[in-house]
Amino acid sequence: MIALRTLLFLYLLILFDGCTGTTNNEDSDATKRPFNFVILFADDLGYGDLGVYGHPTIRTPRLDKMAGEGQKWTNFYVGASVCTPSRAALLTGRLPVRNGMTSRINRVLFPDSDNGLPAEEITLAEQLKKAGYATACVGKWHLGSKEQYLPTNNGFDYYYGIPYSNDMDNVADMKAIGGYMKFWSSEAHRSINSFNVPLMRNTEVIERPANQHTITKRYTDESIKFMAEHKSSPFFVYLAYNLPHVPLFASETFEDTSPRGLYGDVVEEIDYNVGRVLDTLTAMGLAENTIVVFTSDNGPWLIMNQEGGSAGLLSNGKGSTWEGGMREPCIFWSPGNIKPGLVTGIGSTMDLYTTFSTLAGVPIPNDRVVDGVDLSATLFKGDPSPRNEMFYYRGDWLYAVRVGDYKAHYITQEAYEPEFTRHDPPELYNISVDPSEKFDIAADHPEIIEQINEVVRKHNEKLIKGPDMLKDRGNQKLN
């Protein structure tokens, strides 16, 4: 009798499912809407600047929680160690040397730079537009400040932010203060009026100088508003905070609250606003349909002393091709999708281009070299990362190459010193064993150097460098 009742119950259950048209897998690919994508990009944040990456006094509870619920990557790289080429790498999925967004003359774009991101480059926003995504860029752009180079001409429906670094348009009297570095130890650098940086909405300047005390909150407000307005369709939000790049400004709520001082105030305010983004996605019921990634554009600006960040145990910082210049904290979050855990495999901001395009069902352009790889299997299944190589460029010169655990330095140079040293054979470090790059083991491993040399040979064989888009400023052409 019990068996008969059980069979009858199963029959009715199957009949009910058939009548309602449902399946036991309600989250099947056929019914699930496309992923939204949110990139949270800090500026000059070091590898060691978050609690979850080991900082002892900067409190980042929301990013720590985000890492616990998602994936924390410990070998994640940017495409360059300074702002402009790094951002170009993220948004095009390509090494900046390929599109000319890197230079040995001017390492970044300036307010009077003639050029910007080439029109023929296909940005991640343009990729996602092909799949019907609404797209917004909020925050620092730094890929060209003339109208034809702004986000709204590069695939973004909406732009709210500053067009270049927050220390540019410096109108302080440097001569009276005693020079650039003395300026940063004077009270003048703590005034927003020393930096005549424009805040823009689309192509219109709406505030100048931008009030940088409130800018982190306002960037987050604009991003939340955009997500709310487009919650019924897939969206891509690129939220690029222009801090903790100097000059440092915190809101009244966060100023003088961190044991780490003003730098800590700024990072803790970013952490709080990251939490606001995640809470908003959860409240709107979009957390399970959104992939959020948090990282930074390059390592800490160490020459700024206490107003610069920390690379933790990594060597050097911003401007260099040592690990501290290009290896960044990176956290992926998407409840029910991202497999939580610690990922020690290699990843890059360039991989976001390929991964997000693939998840959106958009083919990768086949008329150019795209350097990003698809990280989907690592994110969703916990498979090993498919990336095994990383190229470290400074300008259009290749300084170092990582293959697996090993990194060869062909050229070394301090971040902001003109002298450089070529190495033949290259210096060699096992950066899984020696992440601080202290122990050169080249003499012990000629076979590994030969293996990396072969990777370099194949890379150079197919490399076509783009024309230098950063060298020309103020209509003064340089040969």
Distance CA 428, CA 405 (A): 10
Q: Kindly report, residue by residue over 332-386, the tens digit of the pLDDT.
A: 999 999 999 999 999 999 999 999 999 999 999 999 999 999 999 999 999 999 9
Amino acid residing at 226:
F
Q: How much of the chain, in percent, has pLDDT values that exceed 70?
A: 92
Q: Does 142 have pLDDT greater than 50?
A: yes
Q: Kindly report, residue by residue over 107-127, the tens digit of the pLDDT.
A: 999 999 999 999 999 999 999
State mean pLDDT over 71-81. Answer: 98
Answer yes or no: 19 catalytic: no
Q: Kindly report, residue by residue over 255-289, the tens digit of the pLDDT.
A: 999 999 999 999 999 999 999 999 999 999 999 99
Q: Does 21 have pLDDT greater than 60?
A: no
**Chain centroid offset of residue 178 CA:** 35
**Chain centroid offset of residue 408 CA:** 24
pLDDT at residue 475 in the model: 59
Q: How much of the chain, in percent, has pLDDT values that exceed 90?
A: 90
The residue to which tokens 């960044």 are assigned: 328
Residue 170 phi, psi dihedral angles, 5° rounding: -75, 115
Q: Does 28 have pLDDT greater than 90?
A: no
Catalytic hit among 83, 245, 330, 409: 83
Q: Kindly report, residue by residue over 53-74, the tens digit of the pLDDT.
A: 999 999 999 999 999 999 999 9
Angle between helices 262-283 and 61-69 (to 10 degrees): 50
| CB neighbourhood size of 99 (10 A) | 21
pLDDT at residue 56 in the model: 98
Write out the H or E segment, with its range, that includes residue 333: strand 327-333
One fold for both 36-389 and 392-461? no
Q: Which fold has domain 36-389?
A: Alkaline Phosphatase, subunit A (3.40.720)
pLDDT at residue 175 in the model: 85
Tell me the β-bridge partners of 39.
238, 293
Strand ranges (DSSP E) for 47-203? 71-77, 134-139, 158-161, 199-201
Distance CA 435, CA 405 (A): 10
Q: Does 11 have pLDDT greater than 90?
A: no
| CB neighbourhood size of 145 (10 A) | 20
The residue to which tokens 């994640």 are assigned: 76
Q: Does 26 have pLDDT greater than 50?
A: no
The CATH number of 392-461 is: 3.30.1120.10
pLDDT at residue 180 in the model: 83
Distance CA 283, CA 293 (A): 18
Lowest mean pLDDT of 308-317, 409-418, 467-476, name the range: 467-476
What are the structure tokens assigned to 176, written together?
């009276």
Answer yes or no: 423 catalytic: no
Q: Does 50 have pLDDT greater than 50?
A: yes
pLDDT at residue 254 in the model: 98
Q: Does 300 have pLDDT greater than 70?
A: yes
Is this structure's pTM higher than 0.75? Answer: yes
Catalytic hit among 19, 55, 137, 142: 142
Domain ranges of the chain: 36-389, 392-461
pLDDT at residue 33 in the model: 86
Q: Does 2 have pLDDT greater than 90?
A: no
